[in-house]
């Protein structure tokens, strides 16, 4: 074993700085030096404002004070996503974090609810989700401080300012010994065995390392340009390939959720931060020109723009090998699935976690890289299937884009999930999966896919008990949420920031 003694990260976007923070936290400085090279002239994608709940857990594991982080990154709390106009033009649904209902004795809540619906009960699934009820009422409280209450099963993520996050993580990493080099990498030299040996900067400086992490964004300077691993393109499942984004002034109350509104050739986002809003339109260039996209975006914004809108082209998919030899790719360099469920930052963190799990020595045994690639591709596929579900069941046929979404051939893994769910209300759920059953159930329900029956085991439970439990649970959540602070009041108490 010849341990890694010098890891070089190339790129200082969210991927680079998150990797730096996590590695600096986990690896001893006297054993392994970590250097990050970035070019301020090239800049970052500067976007990525919505996260998922594991991000909050990650902050905790890094020993970061959540309150301080919320303050420094102008963050707001996120209880889920409100989808407007996805199933039909004029409807909406909510995908909440956290639980929906609790088991009744040993019976799955969802199956009990299905039976109640079959018997004529009119309650909606989301009435049993603490996050949905809080979001609908614009209220927020930390579920971690209310565990044994009706909102104890809630969960949350954050909306963050991407530039502030990179700055915060840079401070965190440098305080723990990370060495940062400002410079533009122009050459990647490889050894006879194909491993990357050295980087050369524009000004001639050389940077040696025994392991390299490519965080250079879409171009994949090391993993693709130098190592040419190839790309697995998923455009046949997801048509969107461009986004136009703009930051705007604050408007209205700060809602504790992301809004994703279906548009003629894609969808637009609205993300509230403490000091401003983030807006964007993700669209399919085969159905919509950049000029049309710009005018759609400008129609959706509800406050003055703070900058010129910026267009970001992307290809959906992932590198065929995310880790090859002594080069690991993370972030946009590794792959990208449109930001509908805000999963990209999560996939960066997963990449670093798996890298630490399969941590190599200088030889980088191919058995480790194979296992890493298998696990990461499984994560990418899970996200892809979940995102495709939001489109494929649409009833919309009012544009070429939506007709295309209805007609695509689904990945087998998603087709099997849908069939199992439709016939039995059951879900294939792995221990390691990001989206748990309440997520799938919410999107299935929101997109009009409901099982044809319920699990027959529920008939072994007295129906009056089901009815009484549903009634009590619904009232308990509603009653408690009515007494919670509004999201703005909570933020103000947490951060001391003035309410805009």
Our CB check for ligand FAD shows the closer of 196 and 477 to be 196
Neighbours of 46 (CB within 10 A): 16
Minimum distance from CB of 364 to ligand FAD (Å)?
Answer: 22
For every residue of the chain, which 3-state class applies, written as one string?
A: CCCCCEEEEECCCHHHHHHHHHHHHHCCCCCCEEEEEECCCCCCCCCCCECCCHHHHHHHHCCCCHHHHHHHCCCEEECEEEEECCCCCCCEEEEECCCCCCCECCECHHHHHHHHHHCCCCCCHHHHCHHHHHHHCCECCCHHHCCCCCCCCCCCEEECCHHHHHHHHHHHHHHCCCEEEECCEEEEEECCCCCEEEEEECCCCEEECCEEEECCHHHCHHHHHHCCCCEEECCCCCCCCEEEEEEECCCCCCCCCEEEEEECCEEEEEEECCCCEEEEEEECCCCCCHHHHHHHHHHHCCCCECCCCEEEECCCEEECCCEECCEEECHHHCEECCHHHCCHHHHHHHHHHHHHHCCCCCCCCHHHHHHHHHHHHHHHHHHHHHHHHHHHCCCCCCCHHHHHHHHCCCCHHHHHHHHHHHHHCCCCCCCCCCCCHHHHHHHHHHCCCCCCCCCHHHHHCCHHHHHHHHHHHHHHHHHHHHCCCEHHHHHHHHHCCCCC
Our CB check for ligand FAD shows the closer of 270 and 487 to be 270
What would the two tokens of residue 476 be?
């308990």
Minimum distance from CB of 257 to ligand FAD (Å)?
Answer: 13
Our CB check for ligand FAD shows the closer of 23 and 215 to be 215
Phi, psi (5° rounding) for residue 9? Answer: -100, 130
Our CB check for ligand FAD shows the closer of 266 and 446 to be 266
Catalytic residue among 78, 115, 247, 264: 78
Distances from the Cα of 76 to the Cα of 51, 69, 281, 305, angstroms: 11, 10, 21, 20
**78 flagged as catalytic:** yes
Minimum distance from CB of 334 to ligand FAD (Å)?
Answer: 8
Our CB check for ligand FAD shows the closer of 10 and 112 to be 10
Minimum distance from CB of 46 to ligand FAD (Å)?
Answer: 7
Minimum distance from CB of 181 to ligand FAD (Å)?
Answer: 9
Our CB check for ligand FAD shows the closer of 64 and 333 to be 333
The residues of the shown chain that bind ligand FAD, judged by CB under 6 A, are: 10-16, 37-39, 42-45, 47-51, 162, 184-185, 215-217, 221, 243, 245, 280, 312, 314, 331-333, 339, 342, 344-345
Our CB check for ligand FAD shows the closer of 25 and 219 to be 219
Our CB check for ligand FAD shows the closer of 56 and 215 to be 215
Tokens 């250097």: give the residue. Answer: 35
Q: Which residues are catalytic?
A: 78
């Amino acid at each position: 074993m010849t341990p890694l003694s010098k890891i070089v990260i190339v790129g200082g976007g969210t991927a680079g700085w998150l990797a730096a923070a996590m590695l600096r936290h986990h690896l001893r400085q006297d054993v392994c030096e970590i250097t990050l090279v970035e070019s301020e002239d090239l800049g970052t994608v500067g976007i990525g404002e919505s996260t998922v709940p594991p991000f909050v857990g990650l902050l905790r594991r890094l020993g970061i004070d959540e309150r301080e982080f919320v303050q420094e990154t102008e963050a707001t709390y996120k209880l889920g996503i409100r989808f407007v106009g996805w199933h039909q033009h004029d409807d909406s649904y909510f995908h909440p974090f956290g639980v929906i209902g609790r088991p009744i004795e040993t019976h799955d809540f969802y199956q009990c609810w299905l039976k109640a619906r079959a018997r004529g009960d009119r309650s909606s699934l989301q009435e049993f989700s603490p996050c949905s009820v809080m979001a609908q009422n614009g209220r927020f409280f930390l579920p971690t401080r209310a565990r044994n209450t009706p909102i104890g099963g809630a969960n949350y993520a954050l909306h963050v300012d991407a530039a502030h996050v990179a700055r915060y993580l840079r401070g965190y990493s440098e305080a723990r010994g990370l060495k940062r080099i400002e410079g533009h990498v122009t050459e990647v030299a490889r050894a006879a065995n194909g491993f990357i040996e050295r980087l050369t900067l524009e000004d001639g400086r050389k940077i040696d390392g025994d392991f390299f992490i490519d965080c250079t964004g879409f171009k994949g300077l090391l993993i693709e340009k130098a190592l040419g691993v190839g790309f697995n393109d998923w455009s046949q499942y997801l048509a969107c390939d461009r986004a136009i984004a703009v930051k705007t002034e604050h408007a209205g109350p700060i809602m504790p959720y992301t809004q994703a509104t279906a548009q003629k050739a894609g969808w637009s986002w609205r993300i509230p931060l403490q000091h401003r809003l983030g807006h964007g339109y993700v669209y399919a260039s085969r159905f919509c020109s950049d000029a049309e996209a710009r005018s759609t975006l400008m129609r959706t914004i509800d406050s003055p723009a703070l900058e010129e809108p910026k267009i970001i082209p992307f290809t959906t998919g992932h590198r065929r090998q995310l880790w090859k030899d002594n080069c690991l790719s993370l972030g946009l360099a590794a792959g990208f699935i449109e930001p509908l469920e805000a999963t990209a930052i999560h996939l960066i963190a997963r990449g670093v976690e798996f890298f630490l799990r399969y941590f190599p020595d200088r030889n980088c045994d191919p058995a480790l890289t194979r296992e890493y690639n298998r696990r990461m591709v499984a994560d990418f596929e899970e996200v892809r299937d979940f995102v495709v579900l939001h489109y494929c069941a649409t009833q919309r046929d009012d544009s070429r884009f939506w007709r295309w979404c209805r007609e695509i051939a689904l990945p087998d893994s998603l087709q099997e999930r849908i069939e199992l769910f439709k016939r039995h209300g059951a879900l294939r759920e792995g221990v390691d999966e990001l989206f748990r059953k309440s997520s799938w159930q919410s999107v299935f329900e929101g997109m009009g896919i409901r099982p044809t029956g319920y699990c027959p085991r529920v008939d072994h439970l007295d129906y009056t008990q089901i009815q009484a439990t549903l009634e009590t649970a619904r009232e308990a959540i509603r009653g408690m949420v009515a007494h919670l602070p509004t999201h703005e009041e909570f933020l103000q108490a947490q951060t001391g920031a003035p309410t805009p």
